[in-house]
C-alpha cells in the first residue's frame, strides 16, 4: 500500500514551469533521479516510449522532452533555463536517442531510460509519471526499485550482503537480487548521508558501485506514516464531533503526515499562496511566448470589464480574469503552482483567490482556504487520479473544481457538511470531461475547461449554502469518478488522438506551430 498522500507533494505543487505537470514536472523529477543514478557524465540517453501509452504522441509538445532532458541536466522544474534545454544538451555533449517500441508498458506515462556514462557503464531506469507531477520508480538495471522520490536513497551494488551495522541501518532497507546474482541494496533515509558514511558503506559491503539519490519531493516520507484520517467521511465525522473547522483538519493532517510543526505547514502554504497571486498579477499585465496558440487575453478582459462591455457579474468575472491570467502565465513558461495539475492550474487558485479578494479575506484566511482545498485533493488522489492520461480532464479540472468548491463554501460561512456537499456536487458535475488539447498544447480547450471548473465551484457553493441536496457522499463520488476514468476511451485521455485534437483546424494549427519550431530550432535532438 502506498503512503498516505501529502497536500504539498501530491496536491498543491509542484512549483514549476511548463505546460503539464504529468509531463514537464514529473519527467524532470525522473530525469534528475536518472542523473543521480549515473553519478557521472552522461554521453548518451536512450529513451523508449511504448506506442500503447500517451507519450509517443505527446512528449514533444506537452513538455516531456523539456522536463526529462532538463532533469538530466540537473535543473529543477522551476528553473528559468528550461526553454533552452536543447542548446544545453548540445553544449554538454549529451546525445538523445528516441525509440518507439512495444514492450508492454504498465502505464500510459511510462519512461524506460538507458543512460550511457562516459566510463562506458550503462544504467537502466524505469519510472512512471502518475499525475500532478508525482512519480513512481519501477526498476533500476532490471531490479525492482520502488520510490516516490521522497527519501534520500543510498543504492549499493554488491555481490554479497553481509549484516549491516546498527548505526548504518536506514528507516527502510530493501535488498533485491538480479538474475546475474548482483544484489541491489536500497537504504532509505530522511537525512542526507555524509560522504564519510557513503565511503564507510562502500567499504563495509565491498560495493561494486554506490550512489546517493536525493529526494525530488518537498515533504519527505518516513517509516510507518500515520495520519488522523484517510477518507472524507472520517474527517467530517471527527471535525463535527470535535467542533473543528475542516481547514484545521487539513492543517493537522499535513502536520502529522509530514512530521512537521503546524507553523511550518502554514508557512509553506503562504509561500505557495504568494506564487499563485504573483501569477495572477503577471498574467493581467500581459504575457508573450512564441510557441503558443492563444495570445494574452486576460488584460483585454480586464479592459472590457472596466469599460462596461461585459454582463455585470462581479465575482464570476473576477474568477474568469484570474483563471485566464494564471493559464497564460503557464503558457508563457512562467512560474505556476500545479494545483492539482499544471493543465488545471487556473481553476482552483483562480476561483479561490478571486472570491477571497472579493470578500476581503486576509492572507491568513486565503491560506486556510487553500489548505482545505488541498485536503479535498488528498481524498481524490488516494482513491482516484489527477492524471488526464488516466481520467481525462475530469481528473484535472473536475478535481480542481471540487477542491475550490469546498474552500469557497468555507469562506462563504458554510458549515462543514455544506463544504463537503459543494465538493461532491462540483465533482459530480465534472464526470466524463475529456482531455483533447488542440495542437497538443495545453491551452485550448483547456482554458475554457478551467474557467468552467472554477465557475462550477462557485455555483455549487451557492447551491450548498442554499441547502441543495448533493445525494451522494464525497467518498462515493470519488470512487465512481475512478470507475468512469477507466471507461473513457484512450483517444479521449490526453493522447492527441480524439475530440478537438483531430479537427481539421487543430491539424492546421499543429502544422503551423511545427513549421515555426523547425525554422527556429532546427532538427529535433536525437532524431
- Asked whether the beta carbons of 284 and 299 are under 8 A apart, the reply is yes
- For residue 524, the model assigns a pLDDT of 34
CA-based torsion, 399, 404, 405, 407: positive or negative: positive
User: Quick one: average pLDDT of 224-247?
Assistant: 96
- For residue 514, the model assigns a pLDDT of 84
Local confidence band at 165 (pLDDT 50, 70, 90 cut-offs): low
Peptide bond into 189 cis (omega under 30): no
Which range among 64-68, 87-91, 475-479, 520-524 shows the weakest confidence by mean pLDDT?
520-524
- For residue 223, the model assigns a pLDDT of 84
pLDDT digits (tens, 9 = 90+) for 285-299: 999 998 899 999 999
- For residue 163, the model assigns a pLDDT of 65
54, pLDDT greater than 70: yes
CA distance 392 to 386: 9
- For residue 520, the model assigns a pLDDT of 36
Local confidence band at 522 (pLDDT 50, 70, 90 cut-offs): very low
Residue 245 in 3-state DSSP?
coil
360, pLDDT greater than 70: yes
pLDDT digits (tens, 9 = 90+) for 80-139: 999 999 999 999 999 999 999 999 999 999 999 999 999 999 999 999 999 999 999 999
**Domain architecture of the chain: domains with CATH:** 151-214 (3.30.70.260)
The answer to whether the predicted template modeling score (pTM) of the entire model surpasses 0.85 is yes
- For residue 175, the model assigns a pLDDT of 86
When the pLDDT of each residue in the chain is averaged and rounded to a whole number, the result is: 93
Please name which of 152, 151, 13, 148 lies closest in space to residue 78, comparing C-alpha atoms.
Answer: 13
CA distance 481 to 464: 20
Amino acid at each position: 500500500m502506498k503512503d498516505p498522500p501529502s497536500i504539498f507533494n501530491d496536491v498543491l505543487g509542484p512549483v514549476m514551469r511548463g505546460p503539464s505537470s504529468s509531463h514537464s514536472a514529473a519527467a524532470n523529477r525522473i530525469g534528475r533521479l536518472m542523473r543521480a543514478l549515473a553519478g557521472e557524465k552522461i554521453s548518451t540517453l536512450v529513451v523508449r516510449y511504448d506506442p500503447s501509452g500517451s507519450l509517443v504522441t505527446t512528449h514533444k509538445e506537452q513538455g516531456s522532452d523539456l522536463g526529462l532532458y532538463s532533469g538530466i541536466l540537473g535543473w529543477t522544474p522551476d528553473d528559468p533555463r528550461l526553454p533552452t534545454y536543447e542548446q544545453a544538451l548540445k553544449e554538454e555533449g549529451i546525445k538523445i536517442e528516441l525509440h518507439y517500441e512495444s514492450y508492454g508498458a504498465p502505464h500510459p506515462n511510462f519512461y524506460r531510460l538507458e543512460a550511457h556514462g562516459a566510463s562506458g557503464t550503462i544504467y537502466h531506469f524505469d519510472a512512471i509519471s502518475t499525475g500532478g507531477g508525482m512519480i513512481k520508480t519501477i526498476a533500476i538495471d532490471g531490479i525492482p526499485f520502488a520510490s516516490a522520490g521522497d527519501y534520500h536513497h543510498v543504492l549499493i551494488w554488491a555481490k554479497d550482503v553481509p549484516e549491516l551495522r546498527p548505526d548504518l541501518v536506514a528507516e527502510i532497507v530493501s535488498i533485491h537480487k538480479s538474475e546475474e546474482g548482483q544484489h541491489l541494496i536500497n537504504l532509505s533515509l530522511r537525512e542526507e548521508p555524509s560522504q564519510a558514511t557513503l565511503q564507510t558503506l562502500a567499504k563495509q559491503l565491498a560495493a561494486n558501485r554506490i550512489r546517493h539519490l536525493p529526494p525530488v519531493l518537498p515533504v519527505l516520507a518516513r517509516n510507518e506514516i500515520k495520519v488522523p484520517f484517510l477518507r472524507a467521511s472520517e474527517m467530517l465525522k471527527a471535525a463535527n464531533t470535535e467542533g473543528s473547522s475542516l481547514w484545521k483538519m487539513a492543517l493537522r493532517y499535513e502536520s502529522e503526515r509530514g512530521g512537521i510543526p503546524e507553523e511550518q505547514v502554514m508557512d509553506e502554504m503562504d509561500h505557495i499562496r504568494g506564487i499563485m497571486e504573483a501569477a495572477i498579477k503577471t498574467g493581467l499585465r500581459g504575457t508573450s511566448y512564441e510557441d503558443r496558440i492563444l495570445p494574452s487575453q486576460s488584460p483585454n478582459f480586464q479592459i472590457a470589464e472596466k469599460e462596461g462591455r461585459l454582463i455585470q457579474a462581479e465575482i464570476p468575472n473576477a474568477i474568469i480574469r484570474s483563471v485566464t491570467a494564471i493559464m497564460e502565465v503557464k503558457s508563457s513558461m512562467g512560474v505556476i503552482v500545479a494545483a492539482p495539475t499544471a493543465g488545471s492550474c487556473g481553476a482552483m487558485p483562480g476561483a479561490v483567490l478571486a472570491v477571497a479578494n472579493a470578500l476581503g479575506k486576509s492572507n491568513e484566511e486565503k491560506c486556510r482556504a487553500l489548505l482545505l482545498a488541498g485536503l479535498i485533493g488528498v481524498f481524490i488522489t488516494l482513491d482516484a487520479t489527477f492524471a488526464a492520461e488516466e481520467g481525462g480532464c475530469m481528473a484535472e479540472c473536475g478535481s480542481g473544481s471540487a477542491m475550490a468548491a469546498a474552500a469557497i463554501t468555507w469562506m462563504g460561512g458554510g458549515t462543514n457538511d455544506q463544504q463537503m456537499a459543494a465538493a461532491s456536487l462540483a465533482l459530480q458535475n465534472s464526470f466524463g470531461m475529456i482531455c483533447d488539447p488542440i495542437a497538443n498544447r495545453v491551452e485550448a480547450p483547456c482554458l475554457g475547461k478551467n474557467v468552467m471548473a472554477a465557475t462550477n465551484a462557485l455555483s455549487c457553493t451557492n447551491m450548498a449554502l442554499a441547502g441543495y441536496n448533493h445525494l451522494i457522499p464525497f467518498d462515493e463520488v470519488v470512487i465512481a469518478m475512478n470507475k468512469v476514468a477507466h471507461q473513457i476511451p484512450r483517444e479521449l485521455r490526453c493522447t492527441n488522438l480524439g475530440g478537438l485534437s483531430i479537427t481539421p483546424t487543430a491539424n492546421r494549427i499543429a502544422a503551423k506551430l511545427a513549421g515555426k519550431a523547425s525554422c527556429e530550432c532546427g532538427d529535433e535532438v536525437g532524431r
